[in-house]
Amino acid sequence: MFAYLVRRCILSLLVLLGAAVATFLILHLAPGDPAVLMMGDVGASPEQLRALREQLGLNDSLLTQLGRFLWRSARLDFGYSFYSRQPVATELARQLPATAELALAAFGLAVIMGVPLGVVAAIWRGRWLDSLATGGAVVGISMPSFWLGLLLIFVFAVHLGWFPVTGQGGLDRLVLPALALAVGPGALIARLVRSSVLDVLRKEYVRVAHAKGLPPSSVLIRHVLRNSLIPVVTIAGLQLGAMLSGAVVIETVFARQGVGRLAVTAILAKDFPLVQGVVFFAAVVYVSINTLVDVLYALLNPAIRLR
């Protein structure tokens, strides 16, 4: 198990290194001069622009800038935002609670919706409940989150007036964005749970458990669900990582603060340090959760460790 953990940690570090290098190079290949964009309509002189580039380190070679970025990233120091003049880490820390609140609420809803729906569809395979659950899951996966968000706003906020339209606040302002973000992952979990439960139901030990006279509920919980939910852990972990990395579309549609909306603002403003910090933060969150899921999967399934 220790060797497995070491191997996973090394692979995760390599992935983070690749993500950091790719982010740096892509941003610096984009057209435009950050110094000119920062000056805006001030009409800065060439001397002022040269001084600003020197201050920001933009006159250094690309390799030097890359090395400086990697060294600072290893210490979680992403420099200062070009526009707000605040440390990038401070900007991220300010927006992270809102994204975490939305992501955890949406993840909880996705699991609550997906697991029971998948189990019901598997148990009632070929019947109307299965068709209804499967059809609903297909619609949920196919429906764009931004369209669903707008639909929820129109129905429950504008037409019925049950919830506020947009913005931060209490639980009432969290319901609609969390639901819009949870439907797609919840539908994906439901389809995976259905397939996994159907596979486990065909196993010999399930038939043996029924032959021993165990109650159907005991067979379902102790034998079927316990084994069928193992692959679901992987998908659920990846969905949580994607949500925590920044629900860009949902935060924009519902005018919420968060890491995703911060990323959009930074990209439009060509704020290199802030964009790099946000993307690297998203990569760290995604890779960390993915590694944690792999370790949990190995703990649940000893065959992974043996291989």
Q: What is the pLDDT of residues 111-167, one digit of tens each?
A: 888 888 888 888 888 787 778 888 888 888 888 888 888 888 888 888 887 887 776
The whole-number average pLDDT for the span 286-307 is 70
Query: In terms of residues, how long is the chain?
Result: 307
Phi-psi region of 214 (alpha: psi -120 to 50; beta: other; left: phi over 0): beta
**Phi, psi values for residue 87, rounded to 5°:** -60, 140
Q: Is the pLDDT of residue 41 over 70?
A: no
Q: Find out whether 256 and 166 touch, Cβ atoms under 8 Å.
A: yes
Residue 222 CA to residue 129 CA, distance in Å, equals: 23
Q: What is the pLDDT of residue 145?
A: 81
DSSP conformational letter for 87: B
Which three-class secondary structure state does DSSP give residue 80? strand
Which three-class secondary structure state does DSSP give residue 111? helix
95-306 folds as MetI-like fold (1.10.3720)
Mind listing the pLDDT tens digit for each residue in 196-241?
Answer: 888 777 777 767 776 777 677 677 766 677 777 777 777 777 777 7
| Out of 13-17, 53-57, 285-289, least confident range | 53-57
The pTM of the full predicted model, rounded to 2 decimals, is 0.76
Q: Find out whether 92 and 278 touch, Cβ atoms under 8 Å.
A: yes
